[in-house]
Amino acid sequence: MLFLGLLAAMSAPFASGQGVPSPRGPFATTWDEAYARMTPFDGKRVPGADPSTLNGKVVCGYQGWFLAPGDGSGAGWVHYGNGVFEPGNATVDLWPDMTEAGPDERYPTDFKLADGSPATVFSSYNAKTVDRHFKWMADYGIDGAFLQRFATELKSPGGYDHLNAILDNVRRGANAHGRTWSVMYDLSGLQQGEIDSVVIEDWKRLVDRMEITKDPSYQKQNGKPVVTIWGVGFDENRAYTLDECAKLIDFLKHDPKYGGNCVMLGLPYGWREQVRDSVKDPKLHDVIRMADIVSPWATTRYNSIESFHNDLPIYQQPDLAWCTENKLDYMPVIFPGFRWKNLEATRGRPNHSNEIDRMKGQFFKAQGDALVASGVKMLYVAMFDEIDEGTAIFKCANNAPEGFGTFDGMPADTYLRLAGEFSAELKKQK
């Protein structure tokens, strides 16, 4: 599969500007205020990607967690730096390409681009920017997004309102551009007992107050709304248990009012043999069989084309066979590369970048091509907008400030184009 980029997008000027506050206002400070802002989608859907099935689709993880001073949230710098964002204090490793952003989307920083011009960034709180992200998905044939819903942030009114604001932006962008979306709960950081008190109660509110499963763009599989539970079975001394995960799956599938969903599990890479990053527990496979879709986390589990091809007959291909035998769908993860040099520097480890070379797109292409050829029906791309760990596929700047990674001179749309090509190939086999 060949891909051509738009070289003009690399050389276009980066205008400065002043991003505007969101009309939504600052994050809620009380639970009553946060709940009052939860309303159903009231717009119309533009035809596009078929929301009735995941088969034949490439879906990207969407973080939506970047905030900036002046965006109206009142939160300041979030996920750009540790409270401040300035030279010597950054937690992102790629710089977003702001070429297409209007002045009302550009939030100023103390950084300079490589040509000396002011470097600006976006905020996920700005609906106009999120809308553009979904336009890019449509432009390049990417089918939709798994919206990350970080369970630990659901425990305070401000955090809860933040996630709901991003959900609002995402569902409007998806509907406006004919893309799909669904909720992916990240359980990381939850304590024992909080799956019940935090996640289950949140799902009830999403169904009752925001009516998300009635959204015309909400992703379904086999006629059922897709809900992903990410973080099941990892060998990381997580406080919540497999029994709690099983209860959540049962609730999402069988509750008389809030059930009837298709459940995808985000699992460790070594889940099937219970090796490497997986817990060693006979319950794990029983829990997995309760679900509908298996999606093992592959990011950083291999670090070159050679190591990926070595893994393919050991992990992905037998995983697919196991899922087929157990009547589960299989959605493997692919990623374009990795870099967290800046993030690690803020943790006192300046020489620990753990960088995985993108090889100008060849690393990403090798994964997608091989998995499509192996007969998978769907792919999960990690991630659309993850510039913290350098896995983003959206448009990033080659003219980045000093100390940031780039796309090595490749066009800013290189990875969007590749992801769209994977989707087109999957649809030929659907």
Alpha helices in 78-205 (DSSP H): 127-140, 157-176, 194, 201-205
Contact 203, 252 (CB under 8 A): yes
Long-range contacts of residues 247-253, Cβ cutoff 8 Å, at least 24 apart: 247/195, 247/196, 248/195, 248/196, 248/199, 248/200, 249/287, 249/290, 249/291, 250/290, 251/200, 251/203, 252/203, 252/227, 253/290, 253/292
pLDDT at site 428: 95
Residues 6+ apart with CB under 8 A from 325: none
CA dist 345 to 91, 341, 389, Å? Answer: 8, 6, 13
Residues 6+ apart with CB under 8 A from 321: none
Closest CA to 9 of 69, 76, 99, 113: 99
Say if residue 134 is exposed, middle or buried (CB neighbours under 10 Å; 0-12, 13-18, 19+): buried
pLDDT at site 350: 84
Q: Which residues of the chain have pLDDT under 70?
A: 1-17, 430
CA 193, CA 196: separation in Å to the nearest integer?
6
Contact 85, 99 (CB under 8 A): no
In sign, the C-alpha dihedral spanning 118, 76, 63, 383 is: positive
CA dist 364 to 4, 56, 59, 143, Å? Answer: 15, 18, 15, 17
CA 6, CA 13: separation in Å to the nearest integer?
14
Q: What are 338-384's pLDDT values in tens digits? A: 999 999 999 999 888 889 999 999 999 999 999 999 999 999 999 99
- Report which secondary-structure segment, H or E, holds 186: strand 180-186
Cα–chain center distance at 171: 14
Long-range contacts of residues 205-210, Cβ cutoff 8 Å, at least 24 apart: 205/35, 205/38, 206/38, 207/257, 207/258, 209/35, 209/38, 209/39, 209/40, 210/38, 210/39, 210/40, 210/41, 210/164, 210/167
Give the angle 21-24-27 at the CA atoms, nearest 5°. 90
DSSP string across 357-376: --GGGHHHHHHHHHHHHTT-
pLDDT at site 151: 98
Tokens of 426: 């999957």
CA 278, CA 315: separation in Å to the nearest integer?
13
Q: What's the chain's length in residues?
A: 430
Contact 342, 390 (CB under 8 A): no
Tokens of 25: 């206002």
Cβ burial 208-219 (10 Å sphere, 16+ → b, else e): eebebbebebbb
CA 184, CA 170: separation in Å to the nearest integer?
13
Three-state DSSP class for residue 169: helix
- Report which secondary-structure segment, H or E, holds 341: helix 341-345
CA 261, CA 225: separation in Å to the nearest integer?
5
CA 368, CA 324: separation in Å to the nearest integer?
20
Quote the pTM value: 0.95
DSSP class of residue 134? H
Closest CA to 249 of 227, 270, 234, 267: 227
Residue whose token pair is 């090798």: 366
- Report which secondary-structure segment, H or E, holds 146: strand 144-150
